[in-house]
Structure 1
């Protein structure tokens, strides 16, 4: 009964009673042992259980990710001796900083009373430089051992998509299949990926001896090859090259292994591919000079000699 009132009072009285049983009674030794055990058992059944002292000191972290849940970045969360343990505190309130530049998010969080940490949210684990060029994808809050509210930002380079989880791979868009689409269509599809500026998409010729017309003149030319190739990652700010050919030509054989860059037929070897050479059998006449090219000094077609003549028989130059 005294143990119900106070465990310590009950224990003290029980000790006195046991001593008297062993010293001042004529009971046998076995009876005394049984009485002692029964007394301890009775006191134990009425004494209250001690408070659980093993509750952890780590504060639960609240994280918000752009896609899925992220990894937990450990903050020091051991409670100071003069204040309640972090587990008994409410989670530190924080606004949603996702989508903000890391620089702006840090400034706002510090103004709200948070200590701020940051890390690369991708699996590349890069050091963060120029916070203006990074975007917040994940945030986690907690307490430090000194009772300071902390927030940890997971960020990626500006323009990059957020990983599915903190510390995961960045899901870059990939190069679509553009072969035989027009330049106009291909340019729109690459720009729509969102990671490459329009002025980073360059047109080139698929054949080494071909030449693009002036801008706007190759809008209907066809795509033969791209760099990066179909299925390759198209990352932030990279340059994309699209190799084109005139619709009258096919694309180069992708299976060639001679190591030479593909060339269009040029029978007179004047630099003009046959498909747009007005005189494919006359090396002296090209698309730039359809009536012939000026000849070298000392070469006169009229037989008059004297040097400095024009090598241009039967053309308007003579």
Structure 2
């Protein structure tokens, strides 16, 4: 009985009418032959109908679009295309099939429409297998007009084409941008062929938030590149993450330089909870809060220091 139900789907994929007849026979057999319970027979009946529908759908039997006759304009276009192909020389057909820069699957469709047999291979020296053609882009092609064949050489859609078929992919390499302003660094990276939309930014001070790309570009002359990853002359492939560690300062800031390491210093030293003023005098007997003062003078601190005692002199 299960084999008969499976036969419904198989025949329905080739002929909807034949599948329908077998489905009726299967339904009768289900209710007469096997000693199944009522609910099992109802389920088998519904299953036979479902199998017929699925089989017919997979086989294209229910595709009305596939059985529609082309309209007058479509027939005229097809006739004109056939006449043009018949009157064209092989060289003209080969030239028309040039699909450099297009997805490989589209290029092969156009070539087959022109009457060519297609082949494809990896345009890079790695000689990788091409599985999903929609994810590859045509770089080179070679046609044989006499044999009516075209061989496409392609790379993955996010990869650059090599200078010649089978050559190395010309991945960009990182320039040295350490010490440059953000605007200058962004210009150099773009000229090197690196996509700025994939660029990651980070701050180098604990008391400064990481800027967005828009914020860094707006104040691009104040943001400076302190660290870069990867290093200079590193090949940047499609999976390489390029990041810049930025510091920000102007001529009026107390600190105007990059730290020795990331996330280790404060742009404003007084923001460091462990910071102590170098200008304080005396012992700690008169201190309150975080400053060190004497009984006669509250001491001297920089603006922004934590818990400065009353009467402290602020110096900028």
What TM-score do you get using the length of structure 2 for normalisation?
0.49
What TM-score do you get using the length of structure 1 for normalisation?
0.49
Name the structure with the higher helix share: 2
Greater relative contact order, per chain length (Cα 8 Å cut-off, separation 6+): 1
Larger Rg: 1
